[in-house]
């Protein structure tokens, strides 16, 4: 059964797709509006397997992105997927966790291993937090990144144990230094199974003919500390899996993850290191999400369902409370331009431009990941963003823009009124909200241009370059 759509329904869906995906055009939103808002939320958070462009096409047209001998190749493969996937929330959640579980090339030095981590996050990123953290603890890229292959029962390395507590679950101030030590002991023996082979392989490195070889996980029982441990006030013969379960039962973990979700999907918060001193912008929303976390047995998909259906999320429909991250922004522009439905080495400069905007995928600035929100925007980054949108939308290869202009012309049906042309462009670009100042400036600009296809293309390019388009 379908539900008759209204413009208000479509506007709410546009808001949802900006936050839960990478934006949608008016024609895409019209199709979605045949289902209720709640049904669309359910489809997003319970994605079916998708037929994205496929590795076979990447291998044919961008071999380096397929072989993944380096981090840029791995990142490009992911960008293709973000652009072409019909399960956008799965990719958006992968981006969400990548910002938290920040893992980078300087230590890992293997594009395949980094890509495998992204694939792992994609596969479990909407499941229970317990399962996500368990997969992360066994992930070879993370093992190398935080030195757990150097964590031995007779020589404990605390890096992974500390960051698991501080950055991935509970947050500063909710555990003791002894908890860090006991946590690290529980993860001794969680290591790399083919490290020696990979060291030899590195001397003869090649991605041909089948792509680069990856590390794999191994549990070394002989190197595991089997002694009794006291962790977060509990005593037992805990191993790494037990530690994760104990962490996920804590209210501090529920609040930490809830605030991360709110920060990413609803409204920009202050950087994570300030959370102990500065309270959440919406304490009631954090309380709500924390309750859902426990009621759902730590289910991320159920938390997201409740978040997207909440009044505090819907109330931001016309607000500019979030700055789009560089990858999010660039992917949205490229989806609109329609340039990369087939892989191309033209993606190489695109990947670099995203990095110049401040977010080089697979290469976070530190274990803390990126500081987001308004910190994405400085003078240099803003110029890069504006130029990127203008160039991509204005490119002759942008057949997506050609189709969009055709839809707008059909919608206008010969009406050349400048105000109506502007409103039609804002509508078809996914219901873009402009400030009065920006709206009036664009209106004055298009009054000086002769009606026709060129005016509409110029207008779309100008909208893509506005400050409001940088926001979500």
230 forms bridges with which residues in the sheet?
235
pTM over 0.85: yes
**Number of helices (H), then strands (E), in the chain:** 26, 4
Residue (of 163, 89, 118) closest to 366 by Cα position: 163
* Residue 29 tokens, joined: 């939103």
Class of residue 377 by CB neighbours under 10 A (exposed 0-12, middle 13-18, buried 19+): middle
Query: Distance between CA atoms of 198 and 200, rounded to whole angstroms?
Result: 5
The CB density around residue 210, as the number of other CB atoms within 10 Å, is 9
- Residues ≥6 apart with Cβ < 8 Å to 395: 337, 339
b/e 37-49 (16+ beta carbons within 10 angstroms → b): beebbeebbebee
Query: Distance between CA atoms of 110 and 242, rounded to whole angstroms?
Result: 30
Q: What is the pLDDT along the chain (472 residues), one digit of tens a residue?
A: 344 456 778 999 999 999 999 999 999 999 999 999 999 999 999 998 777 788 888 888 988 887 777 788 889 999 999 999 999 999 999 999 999 999 998 888 888 889 999 999 999 999 999 999 999 999 999 999 999 999 999 999 999 999 999 999 999 999 999 999 999 999 999 999 877 666 655 555 655 555 567 788 999 999 999 999 999 999 999 999 999 999 999 999 999 999 999 999 999 999 898 998 999 999 999 999 999 999 999 999 999 999 999 999 999 998 888 999 999 999 999 999 998 888 999 999 999 999 999 999 999 999 999 988 888 988 888 899 999 999 999 887 889 999 999 999 999 999 999 999 999 999 999 999 999 999 999 999 989 899 999 999 999 999 999 989 988 7
Q: What are phi and psi of 154, to 5 degrees?
A: -100, 0
CB 127 within 8 A of CB 136: no
């Amino acid at each position: 059964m379908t539900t008759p759509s209204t413009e208000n329904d479509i506007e709410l869906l546009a808001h949802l797709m900006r936050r839960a995906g990478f934006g949608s055009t008016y024609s895409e939103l019209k199709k979605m509006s045949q289902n209720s808002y709640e049904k669309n939320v359910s489809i997003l958070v319970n994605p079916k397997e998708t037929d994205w462009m496929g590795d076979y096409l990447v291998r044919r047209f961008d071999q380096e992105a397929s072989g993944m001998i380096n981090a840029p190749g791995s990142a490009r493969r992911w960008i293709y997927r973000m652009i072409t996937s019909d399960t956008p929330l799965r990719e958006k959640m992968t981006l969400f966790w990548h910002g938290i579980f920040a893992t980078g090339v300087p230590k890992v030095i293997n594009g395949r291993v980094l890509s495998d981590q992204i694939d792992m996050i994609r596969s479990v990123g909407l499941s229970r937090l317990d399962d996500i953290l368990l997969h992360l603890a066994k992930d070879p890229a993370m093992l190398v990144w935080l030195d757990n292959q150097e964590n031995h029962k007779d020589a404990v390395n605390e890096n992974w144990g500390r960051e698991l507590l501080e950055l991935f679950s509970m947050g500063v101030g909710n555990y003791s230094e002894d908890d860090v030590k006991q946590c690290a002991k529980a993860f001794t023996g969680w290591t790399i199974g083919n490290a020696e082979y990979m060291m030899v392989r590195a001397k003869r490195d090649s991605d041909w003919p089948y792509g680069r070889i990856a590390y794999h996980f191994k549990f070394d029982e002989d190197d595991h500390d089997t002694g009794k441990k006291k962790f977060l006030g509990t005593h037992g013969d805990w191993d790494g899996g037990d530690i994760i379960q104990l962490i996920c039962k804590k209210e501090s973990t529920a609040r930490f993850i809830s605030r991360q979700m709110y920060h990413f999907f609803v409204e920009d918060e202050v950087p994570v290191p300030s959370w102990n001193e500065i309270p959440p912008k919406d304490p009631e929303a954090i309380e709500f999400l924390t309750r859902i976390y426990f009621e759902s047995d730590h289910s991320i998909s159920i938390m997201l369902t409740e978040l997207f259906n909440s009044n505090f999320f819907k109330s931001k429909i016309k607000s500019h409370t979030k700055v789009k991250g560089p990858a999010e922004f660039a992917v949205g522009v490229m989806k609109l331009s329609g340039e990369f439905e087939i892989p191309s080495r033209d993606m190489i400069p695109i990947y670099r431009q995203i990095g110049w905007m401040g977010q080089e995928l697979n290469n976070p600035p530190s274990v803390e990941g990126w500081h987001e929100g308004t910190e994405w925007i400085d003078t240099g980054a803003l110029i890069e963003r504006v130029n990127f949108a203008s160039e991509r939308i204005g490119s002759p290869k942008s057949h997506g823009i050609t189709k969009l202009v055709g839809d707008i012309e059909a919608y206008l049906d010969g009406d050349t009124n400048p105000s109506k042309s502007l409103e039609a462009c804002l509508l078809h670009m996914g219901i873009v909200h402009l400030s009065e100042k920006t709206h009036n400036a664009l209106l004055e600009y298009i009054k000086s241009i002769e009606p026709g296809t060129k005016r509409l293309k110029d207008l779309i390019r100008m909208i893509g370059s506005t400050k409001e388009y940088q926001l979500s």
